[in-house]
Amino acid sequence: MSKLFSPIELGKTWLPNRIIVAPMCQYSAVDGNATDWHIIHLGNMAMSGAGLVILEATAVEPEGRITPGCLGLCNDDNEQALARVIQAVRKVSNAKLFIQLAHAGRKAASARPWDGGQQLPEAQTTWHTYAPSAIAHNEHEVPPHALDAKGLERIKQAFIESAKRSERLGLDGIELHAAHGYLLHEFLSPIANQRTDEYGGSLENRMRFVLEVFEAVRKAVRPEMPVGIRISACDWVDGGWTVEQSIELAHKLKEMGCDFIDVSSGGVSSAQTIKLEPGYQVPMARAIKAAVGMPTMAVGLITEPQQAESILQAGDADMIALARGMLYNPRWGWHAAAALNATVSAPPQYWRSQPRELKHLFENVTTGQR
């Protein structure tokens, strides 16, 4: 029996398999509003065979968007636009849908990647960025505003309101984005956080805001709705955030009712040195899972079905999240099921596509029957 195609529960939400479509920014929103692109993209991802699709990083306030094209869930217009997308995707797939709630912190106010990705001139005038400390991500950038007590409370309330909107939209779960150098990660890392108050300095202090936001979101939604977190398990920079500190954070989160942890790395410093190789982040997921026992997602250069299966069989993680690999091969889940002698949900319009020798590959997307 394939472990990749065995079910798993996150909180009270049942996933038919352990393939996760990781959050992937599309930079295609207008004023934070989802567009037709999101219907096409997410519909495509939801028919990949994955048990769970996590929507891209979605800003909890307009200033928290990475780029002008990033999704937001800050107001009624954002909510209505995303409702249209979710309703369309639900019609064609039974994949579960989570959302990743985020604030870009000092990495906000940037151009889209295909427009160069550099900080926009607006960062100096109308689009102020915020961070734990007034330290720019890159030397040539405008430093962010260091958050005061009022700003911390504003952002915490923004996470709460976006979480409530997520629940109203009928989404199945929430992932908080505390990775890749964005705001919550910035509080954790001594590279970005050089505060001298109760939110800076010691490990306990640097974890404080992340834990406060998690606790607030956990309380804002119904108990059975899964709430998890994505972290950068290490900064890949001497003197930065480490796997050992990630384990301490994960212990605290588990005590607060965190349902899963999505283990990535890096992003807080341009000085990072990463040795890229297949599954390069899996050892971090393994260490956190072994120490904490929380349901764990592994992500990062996991591209082959047998590779994913081996990670799960070894107990290094509980789920496999794919991003670029899914964009390159939007039917990755189908091909994985064929390779591992498993079955996968697919809409009846596509049943004729299965090769003759794989006639038992597909299940009915609505009933789960072959």
User: Which position has the token pair 């968007």?
Assistant: 65
Residue with tokens 């591992």: 340
> Which tokens is 343 given?
């079955």
Length of the chain in terms of residues written? 370
- Return d(Cα 302, Cα 281) in angstroms, integer: 9
CB half-sphere exposure, 219, CA atoms < 13 A:
9
Rounded Cα–Cα distance for residues 179 and 253 (Å): 15
Catalytic residue among 182, 199, 280, 350: 182
Cα–Cα distance, 119 to 123 (Å, whole number):
7
Between CA 175 and CA 10 the distance in angstroms is 12
| Burial profile 222-247: b = 16 or more Cβ within 10 angstroms, e = fewer | eeebbbbbbbbbbbbbeebbebebbb
Cα separation, 24 vs 15, in Å, equals: 20
Q: Max Cα separation, the chain?
A: 66
Where do we find the tokens 């997308």? Answer: 85
Q: Are strands 13-15 and 8-10 parallel, antiparallel or unpaired?
A: antiparallel
How far apart (Å, rounded) are the C-alpha atoms in residues 58 and 17? 25
Q: Could you tell me if 185 and 131 are in contact, meaning their C-beta atoms sit under 8 angstroms apart?
A: no
Task: Evaluate whether 214 touches 163 at the Cβ level (below 8 Å).
Answer: no
Instruction: Assess whether 199 carries a catalytic annotation.
Output: no
Which residue numbers are catalytic? 182
